[in-house]
Chain A
Amino acid sequence: MLEFYGTHIGSRLLTGTALYPSPQILCDAVIASGSKLVTVSVRREAARSRSGQGFWELIKQLDVHVLPNTAGCKTVKEAVTTAQMARELFETNWIKLEVIANDDTLQPDVFGLVEAARILNDEDFQVFPYMTEDLGVAEKLVAAGCEVLMPWGAPIGSGQGLANPLAMRTMRSYFPDIPLVVDAGIGKPSHAARAMEMGYDAILLNTAIAKAGDPVKMGMSFAKAIEAGRLAYEAGLMEPRDMASPSTPVAGTPFFKIDSAS
């Protein structure tokens, strides 16, 4: 059962809400995917525009958990203030903490991330840190109070899948009891399945569904891939081997001769 900070989440597919062709397709895709947790943001509201109000009504109709982010923040101060505003807006202590170091890679500023996580945890936030797969950073985030870790698979929006599978496996082994979510970089359902087969607890993605030719169908596809990957992990994958090993019994093979066995 998937739990974040003691809250049960009914699906291991977590979805973003941005980049969809229309609000209706966003809703249809979320419902079709079975996702029970969506990410949202806070953005400047122009005078008399009320555009945020309509979006909020839409999200409420979906009746899913909401995880606000601090996307675009580049300093600890910006991230903390954005988190505080998000908490009031969305009425949740959950925050997907992003402190961005570089515009081209959208790589996390892990130093700022740890500092912001410490501040927010002290203010009773429940922090979901968007991070690299660095174990040292992960340990510092856990020490700061984070009970969920969200390493990137690859840069946000790149669709590259798991750029560093060895490190991702290591992270899973190193933190067997902490919910681990692959956040960012997933482009295909097979990427998601691979991470789930490694034992990751959930996948958070946005672009791969929202920018698909048919986001509704792609949402369903990711749901199936993630479920398949999870089942495979629970079932226990076979160990790969270098040489062939016959699956059909050798004993009793017709025309078998001992000197042809090698």
Chain B
Amino acid sequence: MRITINGEVTQTRARTLEELCAALGHGLDKIATARNGDFVPVTQRASTLISENDSIEIVAPRQGG
């Protein structure tokens, strides 16, 4: 399935957002996610299905001003 992760088009077999994060090696990392512009809380990743052409954001803490 073709999706976009953090602005880059890629292929995935993950069915849910939780599976996708795990496949990307994030495991227990402190990350937050959004699907198609909407925030997806960690508690909803397992029930959030990935669809063709979805746009996923995966973010982590970073320096800021």
Query: Taking beta carbons and an 8 Å cutoff, which residues of A are in contact with B?
Result: 16-20, 26, 39-48, 50-53, 55-56, 59, 68-69, 71, 77-78, 81-82, 84-86, 88-90, 156-157, 184, 206-207
Contacts and interface: CB of A to CB of B under 8 A. Distances in A.
A42 B32 contact: yes
B10 to A, nearest CB: 9
Nearest to B23: A47
A206 B63 CA distance: 11
Given A42-B60, A47-B24, 15 more contacts: A16-B64, A17-B64, A17-B65, A40-B61, A40-B62, A40-B64, A41-B62, A42-B61, A42-B62, A43-B62, A52-B59, A52-B61, A84-B39, A85-B34, A206-B65
Interface residues of B, number: 26
A81 B30 contact: no
Contacts of A39: 64-65
Nearest to B59: A42
Contact of A50 (B5, B29, B57): B29
Given A44-B6, A53-B30, A17 B63 contact: yes
B2 interface: no
B58 interface: yes
B41 to A, nearest CB: 6
A101 B6 CA distance: 22
A56 B30 contact: yes
21 contacts: A16-B63, A17-B63, A40-B63, A42-B60, A43-B62, A44-B7, A45-B58, A47-B24, A47-B26, A48-B24, A51-B60, A52-B30, A52-B31, A68-B64, A81-B34, A81-B57, A84-B32, A85-B39, A88-B39, A89-B30, A89-B32
Interface of B: 5-7, 24-26, 29-34, 37-39, 41-42, 57-65
B28 to A, nearest CB: 9
A191 to B, nearest CB: 16
A51 B31 CA distance: 11
A16 B58 CA distance: 23
Query: Which of B32, B38, B61 has the most chain A CB within a 10 Å cutoff?
Result: B61
A45 B63 contact: no
A96 B43 CA distance: 25
Contacts of A45: 6, 26, 29, 31, 58-60
Nearest to B63: A18
A82 to B, nearest CB: 8
A50 to B, nearest CB: 6
From B31, B37, B59, name the one whose CB has the most chain A CB atoms within 10 angstroms.
B59
